[in-house]
Amino acid sequence: MIRSFRAFPAAALSLFVLLAGCGAPPATEPKPAQGAAPAASAPVQGGTFTYALAGSPSGLDPNVVPGAADYRVMRSLYDSLVVQLPDKSIKPWLAEEWTVSPDGRTYTFKLRKDVTFHDGTPFNAAAVKYNFDRIVNPATKSRFAITLIGPYESSEVIDDYTVKVNLKSPYSAFLSSLGQAFLGIVSPAAAEKYKDQLVKNPVGTGPFKFVSWTENAAITLERNPAYQWAPALAENKGAPYLEKLVFKIIPEEATRIGSVQSAQVSAAETVPPQNLISLKSDPNVQLLQAEATGIPYTLMLNQDHAPWNELDARKAVQLAIDFDAIVKTLYLGTYPRAWSPLTPSVAGYNKELEGAVKPDLDKANALLDGLGWVRGADGIREKNGKKLTIHYVDGSPNREKRNDIAAMIQQQLKKAGIAVEVEITSDTSTALMVKGTNDLAGVSNVSGDPDILRSFFHTNAIPNANKWGHNHTHKSDPQLDAWLEEGLKEQDPAKREEVYKKVQKYVIDHAYGFPVYVFPYTVAAGKNVSGFKFDSLGYPLFYDVSLKGS
């Protein structure tokens, strides 16, 4: 869907293309992926495509690492059993077909017989079993794949190219989760060889092979000439057109954007709002954009600490913050406001939440008055000798103006008599899991299925010093647990969506989390780039890319 740059309403947000100086042609159906750069008359073979990342990946072992920057590199290295298309349908990839038992607990996959890993070892049923068993092995220390694999119980090798996966209970999001790169299939031989250093020595079956990694500088991949098993998202069904794919790490925004304008890189990610507007008129640059689907940037309020275990205190914070003003001021109309803990394109998104909560400073003050918090001489409220203070933690110092969000919230909550202490740190593990002293914590996550809510609001997702988790509300809520487990098992799509709509409304009504913005992942690319696409989650795809004049 093509939208005016300033006018994409949240409810209608979808993958789309922005072209410098003019509207893109209407989408045609069917199409393998939306958000694609215009195709050249004929793809050009060869060349090096350089892609500027805003941050350095933490590692390239999909069974272990959880980050968005990791995913953007891993997708070119690892294939999945299935692929999810933008219309949410599931299509074959490394699995040619599959059957599901009537009770929804057993999936039997028939695998391709012509696939090899980059190290020359064969892809087969034993490799699939090895991967899944490795993910659930505590020694692997999986941080996100362990969540995606859900109620996995075991795998059985039926024959060389047939594998049966057994689940402890029905898991409606299983196929969608299998399509993510975090459940991409790694080479068992490489995993055994490199152990925990597979993060720096990745070996998959993908269209590109790992070459080298220079810390905080660049990751280099090269063409996999044997590649013949691209998913339905791709137009090219053979080896990539590009000879090399280089990810350059350029955190500084101006340098990153300047690099694509001066053609020092082929494309750059995460274009800041001020550059989005100016680049529209740059004749040498094209802008491409996709919604990062899943959990929008959301502030989670830790209910372990009084007074945030009281609904009126949480509602006071919710009403004292003017999120509309924050989003409009910082993103200049280029980022949509988020209203739900799900982004609009995820199945089950609750549109009724749009506009449901409006800032009301008077009501916020009244709620805090009612709880006995009295303003001191400095304007900050006090009770029993303790000042009303929020410890605000965010782990993304240079990402999407999140520092500025914290600063604006600090100013706004002061008007309600709440002091805000901001801690921006890359060491969120210590801040959120070991210390756990956070009140507000900013999070986001990419997923194609509403089951992602389970990773943020279920009791099992509460983090502690020994366990990774995203439920930074620290709230064990039997009602939410029941709905999230019901959604996990429900096989009827319509009934399942209704379950998740109830979850979203409950989270907002009880002020567990405060959605801020939906991230429009935006790429600036040179006009010589064609075939650049996004997957259904909004991550970049490179195997259809070619460079004119290479």
Structure tokens at 209: 């092979």
Task: Give the per-residue pLDDT at 398.
Answer: 67
- Residue pointed to by tokens 């993510």: 180
Taking only the tens place, the pLDDT of each residue in 35-70 is 556 555 688 999 999 999 998 999 999 999 988 899
Q: Residue 225: CB partners within 8 Å, gap ≥ 6?
A: 239
Q: How far apart are CA 294 and CA 452, in angstroms?
A: 7
Task: Give the per-residue pLDDT at 18.
Answer: 37
- In this prediction the pTM is 0.83
Taking the domain 295-518, which CATH number applies?
3.10.105.10
Nearest to 79 by CA among 120, 118, 136, 32: 118
Task: Enumerate residue ranges in the chain where pLDDT < 70.
Answer: 1-41, 396-398, 549-550
Task: Give the per-residue pLDDT at 139.
Answer: 95
Q: Residue 50: CB partners within 8 Å, gap ≥ 6?
A: 246, 247, 248, 264, 265, 266, 267
- Residue pointed to by tokens 């959604």: 487
CB of 51 within 8 A of CB of 540? yes
Q: How far apart are CA 424 and CA 442, in angstroms?
A: 10
Task: Give the per-residue pLDDT at 224.
Answer: 98
For the chain, domain boundaries: 48-291+522-547, 295-518
Q: How far apart are CA 302 and CA 512, in angstroms?
A: 8
Structure tokens at 35: 């958000």
Superfamily of domain 48-291+522-547: Periplasmic binding protein-like II (3.40.190.10)
Task: Give the per-residue pLDDT at 40.
Answer: 52
Q: Which class for 506: exposed (0-12), middle (13-18), buried (19 or more C-beta within 10 A)?
A: middle
CB of 392 within 8 A of CB of 514? no
